[in-house]
Amino acid sequence: MNLDVAKRDLLLAHNVLASSVMRFASQIGKPLYAEEDGHPRFQFLQKDAKTIELLMAVRIVSGLNASQTLLDCGFINEIGVLLRTIYDFLLTISFLEDGLNAPKQTEHFKRFVEQYFSERIRSWQDFLKQQPYLPFRKKRAAEAREMAPAADPARVTKMLEAEEKCLSGYVHGHYGAVMELYRGATKPQGEGFLVKGVPEDCPHIVTWFGQIAMYTYRSLLLFIYVAKRLGLADVAQELWREARRFEKSEAYAVHCPGCGKEMSATEKVIKDEKTGEVKERWTRYQCTNPRCCYRIG
């Protein structure tokens, strides 16, 4: 992998995502600056699922840009912390899209939207009164249903749970995560924990770049649904074109996000049973390394 070329490809994708967020915001409308309970702040008048999707998209793009900056500085554990939050934001959008597409909105959906905008934390007493948010199992189930045409929902749920636990290790300082920062050396003076960032030639750099690329690709695809939801057909098309470009770029298509090995590509097509018309088409990438955790099948 040519890391310099791959980074430029990643930056292009992040720019498209950032432009999409600006268009999403224009559809929702500007927040108002008002005082509430003696605390001035910006607030949206439109307090619904679409606004939450916008706010999750803001955090996703901000987190991806920050992750790339951390990678340049060699702070790999901190990337894991940020990707754990991005993982949550992506699942939240999937959950909201699942609820908006349902014939009838569930009580979990209604309660989540209501609680999101009713949060008022001013002191430690407010934290104690705060009601619990949506269980992760509900978010994972929504994502599994979204991927049902291409993968077994039960298997997807287990993979998402494993992904969550893996990234949470960087949040909570699990043993294996922290030890990624230790460098051995033949001389005592070169050995120790790299608390000022790992060097560019550290093998973890490529691995974490792959992780950022994977979450970037997932964001491109998920933002297409948000764009369509907001009636932005042109933005949806731009995101789709960028996703196809990104698939073939140095940043994503050839190398596995998990281990950096070569990946094989298989095109999946879903046709209408009656008319034979193509309803969906996408490319599925599979790692050729049998020991890689991202190998499918």
Tell me the pLDDT tens digit for each residue of 77-107: 999 999 999 999 999 999 899 889 888 888 8
The alpha-carbon radius of gyration of the chain (Å, integer) is: 21
CB 215 within 8 A of CB 246: no
Q: What are the φ/ψ torsions at residue 267 (nearest 5 degrees)?
A: -85, 130
Give the residue, 25 or 39, on which the prediction is more confident.
Answer: 25
DSSP H stretches of helix in the chain: 3-28, 49-73, 76-101, 107-118, 124-129, 136-146, 153-171, 175-178, 203-229, 233-247
Residue 36's contacts (CB-CB under 8 Å, 6 or more residues apart) are 43
Residue 254 has pLDDT above 70, yes or no: no
Query: One-letter amino acid identity for 193?
Result: F
* pLDDT tier for residue 269 given thresholds of 50, 70 and 90: confident
Angstrom CA distances, 214 to 77, 117, 160, stand at: 17, 30, 14
Is-contact 6 251, C-beta < 8 A?
yes
What pLDDT does 190 receive? Answer: 73
Count of CB atoms situated within 10 Å of the CB of 35: 9
- Tokens linked to 247: 């698939």
